[in-house]
Amino acid sequence: MNTKDKTKAKETMREQIYCDSKRERGALYSFPPPLIINFYKQLPIAKNYKQVDANIRRKIVVVTMDDNYDLFLDNLLAKNNVPATWFPVVNELVPELKNKEVEFHFNKDMGSIESQKKKFIEKMGYTPRINRNHRLWWRSDNIDFAYLSLHGILADSTKIGITPYKPCVQGRILPIWEIPFAFFEPSCVSVMRAGYSLVENMETLFRNNVTPIVGTFHPLNLEKYHHFSSQLEKFIRLGRKYHYNFMSLKQLLNLLQDQ
């Protein structure tokens, strides 16, 4: 092996070790069993066997912004008068986010949910009610949903899909709405990331009157790092073209709670 090949092999190995350690840390996040079991025990049991699906007719589109604040994209939203829900990790809760709709981005790589929630309340001055797991790390529906719910989360948007639903676990309807996202930027075909989109071309969702359409977008620094370009402007343009109502996740949650 020549020096160039050796360096390349070393780099590949380093990258692999980095990925493995990250994956392992995510997988090893521990959930406290007694807390979750007791939570289930106090939920009412009925003859439920189906999740509760939302019945939404209005054409609704939701912009969500992951990981950290971005001035350029914030200006783009303001210019187009589009509401958004921001999911920054707790150490990215910068003053610029005050007065915006900021919710919880639970990072299983950064300690317990309690400590992150405490930091969130200290910085933002209120208790978060909506969550999206960072890197979309998810163990299983019966554990993650219960754990988020017993920590006061009323809605989550970590999973892929369209129709919001309340999960059913052994006859118990969990008091939490999953509001799945349909579009995730970047595409997992071009950049190997946690998320994926239902469609190759986002217009397919709009053209088929899918509702709600939740889109997940990322700050420009991440785009630069991963060599992809923002799809937010196109998403907004399509929302207008197909006469959708732009809403934040909180507004959508209010609508679901009224059902």
Can you give the binding site for Zn ion, defined by CB under 5 A? 66-67, 134
Strands 168-169 and 172-173: antiparallel
C-beta of 67 vs 144, nearer to Zn ion: 67
Residue number closest to Zn ion, CB atom: 134
Give the integer Cα–Cα distance in Å for 82 and 101.
12
Beta-strand relationship, 52-53 and 165-166: antiparallel
Judged by beta carbon, residue 67 or residue 185, the one nearer Zn ion is 67
As a dihedral over the C-alpha atoms of residue 135, residue 58, residue 240, residue 235, rounded to 10 degrees, the angle is 10
Name which of 134 and 172 has its Cβ closer to Zn ion.
134
The token pair at 47 is 């003859």
Minimum distance of Zn ion from residue 45's CB (angstroms)? 35
Other Cβ atoms closer than 10 A to 141: 15
d(Cα 88, Cα 184) in Å, to the nearest integer? 16
Q: Which lies closer to Zn ion via its Cβ, residue 172 or residue 218?
A: 218
To Zn ion, the closest distance from the beta carbon of 66 in angstroms equals 4
Neighbours of 217 (CB within 10 A): 24
In whole angstroms, the minimum distance from the beta carbon of 87 to Zn ion comes to 7
CB nearer to Zn ion: pick between 45 and 94: 94
Closest CA to 70 of 50, 82, 88, 91: 88
Min dist CB 105 to Zn ion, Å, is 6
Whose Cβ is closer to Zn ion: residue 54's or residue 84's? Answer: 84
Q: How far is the CB of 42 from Zn ion (least distance, A)?
A: 31
Least Å distance between CB 187 and Zn ion?
Answer: 16
The CA distances from residue 150 to 37, 42, 68, 144, 146, in Å, are 11, 11, 26, 10, 6
